[in-house]
């Protein structure tokens, strides 16, 4: 099962390596990890998507909490969250395939941000499910490269992590 | 304004540090230069790992963080084993390392190593000080972190140029950390629930670990066990919490434990784990236990609860106050029926017929504990010698056992004994080690002589890495490889070369007389015991 964990940590040197070191050391499998400064510049927020059973998720939360730099850890269930990931996808596109791909992008709410004679580069920012569907749609043309930011998540409604 | 190096010394003085263990080098010279004019005593060990082990011994006896020091690069990496050892046993250490100058960090200059990076998996926290102004605050924080919550080693890496900067010194009164708030008070609802569960249970059993020592809760534990009538076993790290002959105490559990303790673990219906982390050497199949028993787990570290064993009633907090509260709440009860059931199991530790020219280590250690003063600190190394000690040295109420349970680091006992003796000069300190492990620490004989530290060293000489030999005999068709210690020196002569009194014992008939000589000496003393090479661990 996939778990999404939000962690607030002190925004200083060495913190990210402590967090990532913890994962490898404890044998946790991480799908993605995204990190950035928050509205309070002394804090960073890390969003982790991890795979594992209930016990693993609990241990992950406890071990993260145990790190001295950790301010707060929250594990969310999918229906509490709005999730987004930004991806840049370079796809093969012969001139006669361009308009098809453009239609897909339009429907899928993606943007074409670069083009050569035989490639298109697509920017898409959406939920993991939607992105998955986009991959399926582009697969047939030949995906040459994907760069992704990792999932970030925020609670629905007015609730905040603090 | 003062030099930051002086501020480092002042911080240690403010923390009440009287003795430090270390080894100098260029990158830590400014600090040593300031130590020159301080009253803090510096003990020059002969290998940095031993600075860490000695600090560990001191910390375990005082209950407060102790300090070890090394230079950058090789000095710092030599310290790593001791840091990892302390981490595994939750021992509060402040490890200070010199570092190359800040403008050179990352350039792979002479004796540069990323020690905070290397030590990261086994420190509670670490600092690389880049801003000298933050130094007092960092030292204050480091001591606070090391000595509170689940204790552990904290590393402070100080570049040599930072040590030479001038700063305004004031030592912070309090620590302000928004991220670190160890839970100390146990939840009263859970405490009540635990007491009720124990009262409702027919065959409860206490399993006490090293956490009880770390919380300074030995007296509270004893009081609770006596009032509730609940029998107790201990882990290796929990040895000497109970006097060995206490009526409710059943001995050490686990792989190398005694029958009565392991039988009690199997037979009980409720297990109360206190400051014990259910390590694999103590409990081999935790899932088996949790299926048939109610598990109560009390620990200061929330991450330990549920990590190795599923728990029915968890309780996070400091076990000193928790046990005191539990003692108040619990009804007095006589559980002699259950106690007698497990007491009836005899711990027939095989004491072999005497072999010509050898002492029996098990019988010898019993005799040793009979003779030594009640409050003796007994430090065991790693290997067969350690297990012989665990199961045969009889601890009295004021006695103390020290060993490394988590890492099992050979070479721990002598430096640990040095630190323990520095912390408690009025107490006898005996280090028991093997002939293999002794050779990982024998350079400390020089430290002992230099500082006139009257520790007593007992070497169980079986000319083998005995524990591994036994494993090869039992598990690998007795194909013995790399376990013979044939090149070892005459340890009695070696000690004499350092000017240390020494003797050898080769038969049980002379054991008492030889022990008497060791016990009567007020100087460092080394006793080599000839042990038959095939002597069994249990
Ligand atoms: C630093 C280190 N290296 C290796 C080991 C593995 N090991 C565990 S017990 C043991 C044998 C110890 O031999 P000795 O000190 O002579 O004790 P004995 O078992 O013979 O009493 C070894 C090699 C260890 N625990 N620590
Ligand atoms: Mg040996």
Q: What is the pLDDT of residues B476-521, one digit of tens each?
A: 999 999 999 999 999 999 999 999 999 999 999 999 999 999 999 9
Residues A38 and A97 in one domain: no
pLDDT the model gives residue B353: 66
CA distance, residue B307 to nearest chain A CA (Å) = 7
* Domain final residue, candidates A21, A47, A76: A76
Residues A93 and A129 in one domain: yes
* B533 CA to centre of ligand 2 in angstroms: 8
Largest distance between two CA atoms of chain B: 71
Domain presence at residue A26: yes
Q: Which of B457, B437, B452, B439 is nearest to B503 (CA)?
A: B457
Phi/psi at B180 (5° precision): -115, 110
Residues above pLDDT 70, as percent of chain B: 99
- Across the range B63-82, mean pLDDT stands at 98
- Output the six-digit token pair for B71: 């230079």
B432 forms bridges with which residues in the sheet?
A: B380, B458
Average predicted confidence (pLDDT) for chain A: 94
Domain presence at residue A160: no
- Output the six-digit token pair for B281: 């050497």
User: Which candidate from A62, A63, A71 shows the least CB-CB separation from B178?
Assistant: A71
- Cβ neighbourhood burial of B444 (10 Å; 0-12, 13-18, 19+): buried
CA–CA separation, B125 and B226 (whole Å): 38
Q: Is residue B186 in contact with ligand 1, taking CB distance under 6 Å? A: no
Q: Which ligand is nearest to the CA of B436?
A: 1
Beta-carbon separation of A70 and B303 below 8 A:
no
CATH of the domain at A65: 3.30.70.260
Which pLDDT band holds residue B352 (cuts at 50, 70, 90)?
A: low
**Helices B336-343 & B259-267 angle (0-180, nearest 10):** 130
pLDDT in tens, A136-156: 999 999 999 999 999 999 999
For the cut 90, the answer to whether the pLDDT of residue B252 exceeds it is yes
For B302, the closest chain A residue by CA position comes to A62
pLDDT the model gives residue B492: 98
- Output the six-digit token pair for A23: 């994962």
Residues A65 and A106 in one domain: no
Beta-carbon separation of B306 and A18 below 8 A:
no
Contact yes or no for B375/B425 (Cβ under 8 A): no
Residues A7 and A45 in one domain: yes
Q: In chain A, where does DSSP find H-type helix?
A: 15-26, 54-66, 98-108, 128-139
For the cut 80, the answer to whether the pLDDT of residue B336 exceeds it is yes
Which of B136-140, B320-324, B534-538 is least confident? B534-538
Chain A interface, mutation test: which of B176, B303, B316, most A Cβ atoms within 10 Å? B303
Beta-carbon separation of A58 and B121 below 8 A:
no
* Domain final residue, candidates A76, A92, A122: A76
Q: Could you say which residues from 67 to 96 on chain A have a Cβ atom under 8 Å away from some Cβ of chain B?
A: 68-71
pLDDT in tens, B124-170: 999 999 999 999 999 999 999 999 999 999 999 999 999 999 999 99
Which residues of chain B make contact with A69, given a CB cutoff of 8 A? 179
Q: Write down the CATH number for the domain with range B2-167.
A: 3.40.50.970
Domain presence at residue A65: yes
Strand bridging mode B232-234 / B249-252: parallel
For the cut 80, the answer to whether the pLDDT of residue A10 exceeds it is yes
Q: Which of B467, B465, B455, B457 is nearest to B388 (CA)?
A: B467
* B516 CA to centre of ligand 2 in angstroms: 24
Strand bridging mode A119-126 / A111-115: antiparallel
Residues above pLDDT 70, as percent of chain A: 100
Phi/psi at B422 (5° precision): -65, -35
Beta strands in B259-414 (DSSP E): 270-274, 294-299, 313-316, 377-380, 400-402
Which pLDDT band holds residue A56 (cuts at 50, 70, 90)?
A: confident
Average predicted confidence (pLDDT) for chain B: 96
Q: Which of B106, B17, B1 is nearest to B62 (CA)?
A: B17
Residues A145 and A114 in one domain: yes
User: Which candidate from B121, B128, B178 shows the least CB-CB separation from A21?
Assistant: B121
Residues A69 and A107 in one domain: no
Q: Does domain B188-343 have CATH number 3.40.140.10?
A: no
A2–chain B Cβ distance below 8 A for any pair: no
Beta strands in B369-455 (DSSP E): 377-380, 400-402, 429-434
A21–chain B Cβ distance below 8 A for any pair: yes
Residues A47 and A29 in one domain: yes
pLDDT the model gives residue B532: 95
List CB contacts of B509: < 8 A, sequence separation 6 or more.
Answer: none
CA–CA separation, B88 and B102 (whole Å): 31
- Output the six-digit token pair for A106: 């339009």
- Across the range B276-284, mean pLDDT stands at 89
Domain presence at residue A69: yes
* Domain final residue, candidates A76, A93, A128: A76
Tell me the pTM: 0.96
B116–chain A Cβ distance below 8 A for any pair: yes
Domain with CATH 3.40.50.1220 in chain B: 188-343
Chain B interface, mutation test: which of A66, A70, A162, most B Cβ atoms within 10 Å? A66
A24–chain B Cβ distance below 8 A for any pair: no
Residues A69 and A40 in one domain: yes
**Residue among B381, B391, B436, B534 to mutate when testing ligand 1 (max atoms within 8 A of CB):** B436
List CB contacts of B448: < 8 A, sequence separation 6 or more.
Answer: B414, B418, B455, B498, B500, B524
pLDDT the model gives residue B349: 67
- Output the six-digit token pair for A126: 């959406």
For A42, the closest chain B residue by CA position comes to B178
**Residue among B255, B386, B410 to mutate when testing ligand 1 (max atoms within 8 A of CB):** B410
Block residue for tokens 């960092």:
B138
For the cut 80, the answer to whether the pLDDT of residue A162 exceeds it is no
Residues A64 and A105 in one domain: no
Domain presence at residue A159: no
User: Which candidate from A9, A25, A62 shows the least CB-CB separation from B303?
Assistant: A62
Domain with CATH 3.40.50.970 in chain B: 2-167, 361-530
Residues A69 and A88 in one domain: no
- Across the range B299-306, mean pLDDT stands at 95
Per the structure, the count of domains in chain A is 2
Residue A42 structural domain? 2-76
- Output the six-digit token pair for B418: 């040095």
A14–chain B Cβ distance below 8 A for any pair: yes
Phi/psi at B423 (5° precision): -80, -25
Beta-carbon separation of B121 and A25 below 8 A:
yes
* B459 CA to centre of ligand 2 in angstroms: 8
pLDDT the model gives residue B343: 86
Contact yes or no for B303/A65 (Cβ under 8 A): yes
Residues A44 and A86 in one domain: no
Helix (H, G, I), strand (E, B) or coil at B91: coil
Beta-carbon separation of B120 and A10 below 8 A:
no
Which of A17-21, B74-78, B416-420 is least confident? A17-21
Q: In B63-187, where does DSSP find H-type helix?
A: 74-88, 115-119, 135-147, 160-163
CATH of the domain at A101: 3.30.70.1150
Residues above pLDDT 90, as percent of chain A: 81
Superfamily per CATH, domain B361-530: Thiamin diphosphate (ThDP)-binding fold, Pyr/PP domains (3.40.50.970)
Q: Is residue B48 in contact with ligand 1, taking CB distance under 6 Å? A: no
Among the atoms of ligand 1, which is closest to the Cα of residue B388?
21
Residues A22 and A44 in one domain: yes
For B116, the closest chain A residue by CA position comes to A14
Which pLDDT band holds residue B287 (cuts at 50, 70, 90)?
A: confident
- Across the range A118-138, mean pLDDT stands at 97
């Amino acid at each position: 099962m996939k778990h999404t964990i939000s962690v607030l940590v002190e925004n200083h040197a060495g913190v990210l390596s402590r967090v990532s070191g913890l994962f490898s050391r404890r044998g946790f499998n991480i799908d993605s990890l995204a990190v950035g400064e928050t509205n309070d510049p002394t804090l960073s927020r890390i969003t982790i998507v991890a795979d594992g059973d209930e016990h693993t998720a609990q241990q992950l939360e406890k071990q993260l909490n145990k790190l001295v730099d950790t301010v707060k850890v929250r594990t969310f269930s999918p229906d509490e969250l709005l999730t987004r990931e930004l991806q840049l996808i370079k796809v093969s596109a012969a001139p006669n395939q361009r308009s098809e791909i453009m239609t897909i992008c339009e429907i899928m709410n993606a943007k074409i941000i670069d083009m050569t004679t035989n490639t298109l580069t697509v920017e898409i920012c959406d939920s993991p499910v939607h992105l998955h569907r986009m991959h399926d749609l582009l697969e047939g043309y030949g995906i040459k490269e994907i760069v992704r930011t990792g999932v970030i998540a925020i609670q629905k409604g007015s609730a905040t992590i603090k | 304004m003062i030099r930051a190096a002086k501020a480092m010394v002042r911080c240690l003085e403010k923390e009440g540090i009287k003795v430090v263990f270390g080894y100098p080098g260029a990158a830590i010279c400014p600090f040593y230069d300031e130590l020159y004019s301080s009253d803090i005593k510096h003990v020059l060990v002969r290998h940095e790992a031993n600075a860490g082990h000695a600090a560990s011994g001191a910390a375990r006896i005082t209950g407060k963080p102790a300090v070890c020091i090394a230079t950058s690069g090789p000095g710092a990496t030599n310290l790593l084993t001791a840091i990892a050892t302390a981490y595994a046993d939750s021992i509060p250490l402040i490890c200070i390392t010199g570092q190359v100058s800040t403008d050179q960090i990352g350039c792979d200059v002479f004796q540069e190593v990323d020690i905070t990076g290397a030590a990261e998996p086994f420190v509670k926290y670490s600092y690389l000080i880049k801003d000298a102004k933050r130094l007092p605050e960092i030292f204050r924080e480091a001591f606070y972190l090391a000595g509170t919550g689940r204790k552990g080693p904290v590393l402070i890496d100080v570049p040599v140029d930072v040590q030479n900067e001038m700063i305004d010194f004031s030592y912070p009164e309090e620590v302000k950390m928004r991220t670190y708030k160890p839970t100390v008070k146990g939840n009263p609802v859970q405490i009540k629930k635990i007491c009720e569960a124990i009262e409702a249970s027919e065959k409860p059993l206490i399993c006490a670990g090293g956490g009880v020592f770390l919380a300074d809760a030995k007296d509270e534990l004893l009081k609770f066990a006596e009032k509730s009538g609940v029998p107790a076993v201990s882990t290796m790290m929990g040895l000497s919490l109970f006097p060995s002959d206490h009526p409710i105490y059943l001995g050490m559990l686990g792989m190398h434990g005694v029958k009565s303790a392991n039988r009690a673990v199997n037979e009980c219906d409720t297990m109360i784990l206190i400051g014990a982390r259910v390590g694999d050497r103590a409990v081999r199949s935790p899932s088996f236990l949790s299926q048939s028993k109610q598990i109560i787990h009390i620990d200061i570290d929330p991450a330990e609860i549920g990590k190795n064993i599923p728990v029915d009633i968890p309780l996070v907090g400091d076990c000193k106050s928790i046990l005191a509260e539990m003692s108040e709440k619990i009804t007095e009860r006589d559980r002699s029926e259950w106690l007698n059931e497990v007491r009836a199991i005899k711990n027939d530790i095989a004491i072999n017929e005497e072999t010509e020219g050898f002492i029996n280590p098990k019988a010898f250690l019993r005799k040793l504990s009979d003779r030594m003063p009640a409050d003796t600190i007994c430090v065991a190394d790693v290997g067969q010698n350690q297990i012989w000690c665990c199961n045969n040295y009889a601890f009295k109420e004021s006695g103390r056992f020290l060993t490394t349970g988590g890492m099992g680091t050979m070479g721990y006992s002598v430096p640990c004994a040095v630190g323990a003796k520095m912390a408690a000069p009025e107490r006898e300190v005996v280090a028991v080690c093997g002939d293999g492990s002794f050779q990982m620490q024998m350079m400390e004989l020089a430290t002992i002589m230099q500082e006139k530290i009257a520790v007593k060293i007992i070497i169980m000489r079986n000319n083998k890495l005995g524990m591994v030999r036994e494993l090869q005999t039992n598990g690998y068709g007795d194909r013995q490889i790399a376990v013979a210690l044939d090149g070892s020196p005459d340890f009695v002569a070696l000690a004499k070369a350092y000017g240390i009194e020494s003797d050898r014992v080769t038969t049980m008939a002379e054991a008492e007389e030889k022990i008497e000589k060791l016990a009567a000496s007020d100087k460092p003393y080394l006793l080599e015991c000839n042990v038959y090479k095939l002597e069994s661990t249990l």
